[in-house]
Amino acid sequence: MTRSLPLSMPGEFAPGHIVARDLDGSPITWSGLCARVDFWCARLRLLPGPKIAVHHSNSIEFISIVFGLWRLNRIPVIPANTLDATLDAITAETDCFVGEFGHRSAAIDQTGAETPAMITEMPQTDVRQTALIMFTSGSTGAPTAIHKSFEQLNGEMVLLETQWGREAAGTLTLGTVSHHHMYGLPFRLLWPLVSGRPFLNQGLIYLEQLLALRQFRSTLISSPAHLDHLPETLDWPAVQRSIQRVFSAGAPLSPAAAESCSQRMSAVITEIYGSTETGAVAFRDPVHAGPWQPLPGVTVKSVQGKLAVNSPAVDRDRWLVTEDLCEIDAGGRFRLTGRADRIVKVAGKRVSLTAIESALGAHPWVEKVAILLLQQRKSRIGAVVRLTDQGIAALVDRGRRAIGKELLAGLKDSVEPVALPRYWRFVSTMPVNPQGKTTASELAPLFDDDNRPRYPQILETVTPGEPGDLPDEALVRFVVPQDLLYLEGHFPGKPILPGVVQVGWAIHYSRQWLGNTGEFRRLEALKFQRVIQPGERIALHLKLDRNTGKLTFSYASGDVSHSSGRVVFAGAD
């Protein structure tokens, strides 16, 4: 029997009904949950609304805040994580932050005595109104806000209950995935809650925690982030009779990993296909990795090769066309053949990121590769590569440039020149989010550092003599950029230009403007008199004595001398 959201608290269940359990097995009852909802309701009504961001690792607290907001007719906004960039992006459509948001969290009076029973009637809710706002994982770009109505959430509950409700009955739902996205939230919290099954009050961080919970029959909500790396040392036979079924979603689970899970846990492994927009769509046995079977109540069709979904978790009256390319068989089951939106435009040319990935992946040096469009670097293509042992040996031996050139050589026939990867990052592990997905938001920051200036912003350079002649002196006027890479951590709160950077720039500009080709020998007479701060206008004077190979430099602003020194080069001429 599935109840509908929002629950008409407090009479939906018997007061002693077990809603959740803590890690030590102790129960949390329906009346306990109702008390927490009252607690939050009394405090949330004092906060500005209507959109309130919610993040709480404790599932009861999280769901109490969400229910409290529903009772106040407000809308929970649920970011996938609490990274600054994520929160900055949602600030515009959020009135305040409640829960575990660090300094952004609204002040909540935690000490207040139990609020007097404050029976707030549920407001009359139109099932088509927005229940909550979540965000897409941003596999291919910036996360997008998705509004979920009560009708859509209930639609998904019915789909899950119809397919698995009977056998899930009586199990404790455990999860290694966060309840802050559109897999964890329905699977870990909402579905168990409305079907009257208890859930664990916190996410499992280590699968070893399964041992502590082995007295309960359980359903495990997980992802390849955990299932790909089952701990060898765990006493698997001890947990074997407890886990009934394991759900995996978020990223593809390899048949080998699925086989290993199924053997060790002696549980059925079910892989779920879905997305934030569609909710759960289909399932399959990942050990055999056959076609996807739509959930009863969901139908699919192909729209110009793209998978289109009709589901009560979206809207029964229309088809939602995804960006997943598919092949549908006569029985209505389907296979996924790639992402349509991984086609990007570079200089007006359509480029398939997937095609570049598979071409690079064929090279014996490449173990894993992810290709992305770098908006922050003039929309060039970046490649994040995990090298094989052979590749690492080549990197050590021949250097980054040679590796990049060799890898590019294999792409020349199949990839447009403008779409060849311009920037390479060689990593020991692919960055993934907590759902085990490697998305653009994990990859793009790898290329950020280099976007920050390493050199000053030049105002003018004055050299005596005729152009084309090699001058012995130069005056470089510049401004120290605020976002200069070298100011990071030097020092927190009081950025100053490091002395070693001053020496480096003097050498750099002597090579650029004085044609200095000498090999560095030593420093002489280094003197730092006054710090240089970002934003300052500075003049760097350079003078090269070609006979002695000595470069004299000084940094000054107006009459004030900041620093000076001499660098000695060998074979300066």
Interface positions with other proteins (CB under 8 A): 347, 377-378, 399-401, 404-405, 408, 417-418, 420, 423-424, 450, 455, 467-470, 511-515, 517
Q: Please provide residue 26's backbone torsions phi and psi, each rounded to the nearest 5 degrees.
A: -70, 140
Tell me which amino acid residue 522 is.
R
**Residue 34 and residue 37: Cα distance in Å, rounded?**
5
Smallest distance from other proteins to CB 402, Å: 9
In terms of CB distance, is 216 or 423 closer to other proteins? Answer: 423
In terms of CB distance, is 319 or 423 closer to other proteins? Answer: 423
In terms of CB distance, is 237 or 468 closer to other proteins? Answer: 468
Whose structure tokens read 């099932």?
127
Burial tier of 37 (Cβ tally within 10 Å: 0-12, 13-18, 19+): buried
In terms of CB distance, is 327 or 449 closer to other proteins? Answer: 449
**Residue 156 and residue 142: Cα distance in Å, rounded?**
25
Smallest distance from other proteins to CB 400, Å: 4
In terms of CB distance, is 89 or 351 closer to other proteins? Answer: 351
Smallest distance from other proteins to CB 409, Å: 10
Smallest distance from other proteins to CB 500, Å: 18
In terms of CB distance, is 122 or 470 closer to other proteins? Answer: 470
CA nearest 410: which of 383, 428, 431? Answer: 383
Q: Are 432 and 442 in contact (CB under 8 A)?
A: yes
Smallest distance from other proteins to CB 422, Å: 8
In terms of CB distance, is 461 or 533 closer to other proteins? Answer: 461
Q: Are 381 and 373 in contact (CB under 8 A)?
A: yes
**Residue 374 and residue 443: Cα distance in Å, rounded?**
10
* Distances in whole angstroms, Cα of residue 457 to Cα of each of 452, 483, 561: 12, 11, 20
Q: Are 348 and 337 in contact (CB under 8 A)?
A: no
Smallest distance from other proteins to CB 539, Å: 20
Whose structure tokens read 């001058």?
471
In terms of CB distance, is 315 or 472 closer to other proteins? Answer: 472
Smallest distance from other proteins to CB 467, Å: 6
Extract the tokens encoding 373. Answer: 């469009």
Smallest distance from other proteins to CB 470, Å: 5
H-helix segments, 45-134:
59-71, 84-90
CA nearest 451: which of 376, 534, 375? Answer: 376
**How many CB atoms lie under 10 A from the CB of residue 99?**
20
**How many CB atoms lie under 10 A from the CB of residue 364?**
9
Tell me which amino acid residue 409 is.
A
Smallest distance from other proteins to CB 537, Å: 21
Q: Between the CA atoms of 531, 532, 538 and 544, what dihedral angle is there, to the nearest 10 degrees?
A: 70
Tell me which amino acid residue 443 is.
L
**Residue 232 and residue 287: Cα distance in Å, rounded?**
20
Smallest distance from other proteins to CB 418, Å: 5
**Residue 476 and residue 42: Cα distance in Å, rounded?**
64
Smallest distance from other proteins to CB 421, Å: 11
Q: Are 485 and 495 in contact (CB under 8 A)?
A: no
Smallest distance from other proteins to CB 351, Å: 13
Extract the tokens encoding 89. Answer: 């992006």
* Cα 304-139-128 angle, rounded to 5 deg: 75
Whose structure tokens read 């979540």?
134
DSSP 8-state assignment for residue 106: P
In terms of CB distance, is 235 or 448 closer to other proteins? Answer: 448
In terms of CB distance, is 245 or 511 closer to other proteins? Answer: 511
In terms of CB distance, is 50 or 464 closer to other proteins? Answer: 464
**Residue 67 and residue 320: Cα distance in Å, rounded?**
29
DSSP 8-state assignment for residue 185: I
- The enclosing H or E element of 282 equals strand 279-284
In terms of CB distance, is 399 or 535 closer to other proteins? Answer: 399
In terms of CB distance, is 326 or 372 closer to other proteins? Answer: 372
Smallest distance from other proteins to CB 399, Å: 8
